[in-house]
Amino acid sequence: MDELLAALADPARWRLISLLAECPRPVGVLAQLAEARQPQTTKHLQTLERAGVVTSQRTGQRRIYALRSAPLRDLATALGRLADISDQAGGLRVTYDHYGRSLDTERRAAEESGWADGRSFSFHRSLTVAPELVWRHLTEPTLLARWWTPDDLRVSELIFEARPGGRIVLEYRDVEDTDGSDLVAGRGKGVVDDVRPGERLAYRLSPQLPDGGDAFTSHVDFGLRPTADGTGTDLDVRYRITDSTVDSADFIAGIEIGFGQSLSNLAGAVHINENEEEVQR
């Protein structure tokens, strides 16, 4: 397959393939129709023959070349399979396309500093565990690291001091970058503003630009309360932006998608942790 792809990658050889798809032809005629020199045409045809996509036979003084359709059909099947896999990627592909549209919109809007100040996002999750367990996942670094990134990222460094004035450091990498050889996907620093165990957590966090400056400041406020039946937790989150820079557009474009995914991961993490603790008991 690699040899076939390499052979078809040349525009001149692709032209010969197109001509041979119509009917078998001798070298001289192919050279004329392709408007190329015969020696060059012969070399291209030999490459295609080695790749298995054309065949030839001598008739008198001429060598006639013909197309072999089977390799092309195999290639088409392989390409179709790849397209099907991409379509079946489902949420990941949909998220990528959604982010692309949001990115274009935000980049056009980011004309001057402060362009996104006051923008806010609201999130709600009904969780099946008590507020005390949810609180632990919001404040304990080992549990926080399990969910505090979107699906395609992983936490690579985390400091979270759950007290007013406490320090926050968050670094994340691609989820498949297991050895840290790829570039850091993102880094943020912040401070905890309010801590009311089991009820409210508020902090400020600023994603960092490549030059080390702050892209913007996010003011994130988590409110927890027991569900009406007392068996779970209603979690409401307000995410507000201040100090936005022109270069913050790429970050802001991903907030609704990325933070929403993180909260959905939180729902899964607390459920797994609850089952783990039941097994230990």
Classify 169 as helix, strand or coil.
strand
25 and 135 together in one domain: no
71 and 179 together in one domain: no
- Looking at residue 193, its pLDDT comes to 98
Is the confidence at residue 133, as pLDDT, over 60? Answer: yes
- 55 Rama class: left (phi>0) / alpha (psi -120 to 50) / beta: beta
Average pLDDT, the chain: 93
| Rounded CA separation 256/106 (Å) | 12
For residue 74, give the CATH number of its domain. Answer: 1.10.10.10
The stretch 122-140 carries a mean pLDDT of 96
- Looking at residue 236, its pLDDT comes to 98
117 and 194 together in one domain: yes
Dihedral of the alpha carbons of 44, 50, 55, 58, in degrees to the nearest 10: 80
- Looking at residue 94, its pLDDT comes to 79
- Looking at residue 89, its pLDDT comes to 58
125 and 68 together in one domain: no
pTM (predicted TM-score): 0.74
| Domain that includes residue 142, residue range | 113-280
Other beta carbons within 10 Å of 146: 18
| Rounded CA separation 209/136 (Å) | 30
- Give the pLDDT confidence of 83-113 residue by residue, as tens digits: 888 777 566 777 888 889 999 999 999 999 9
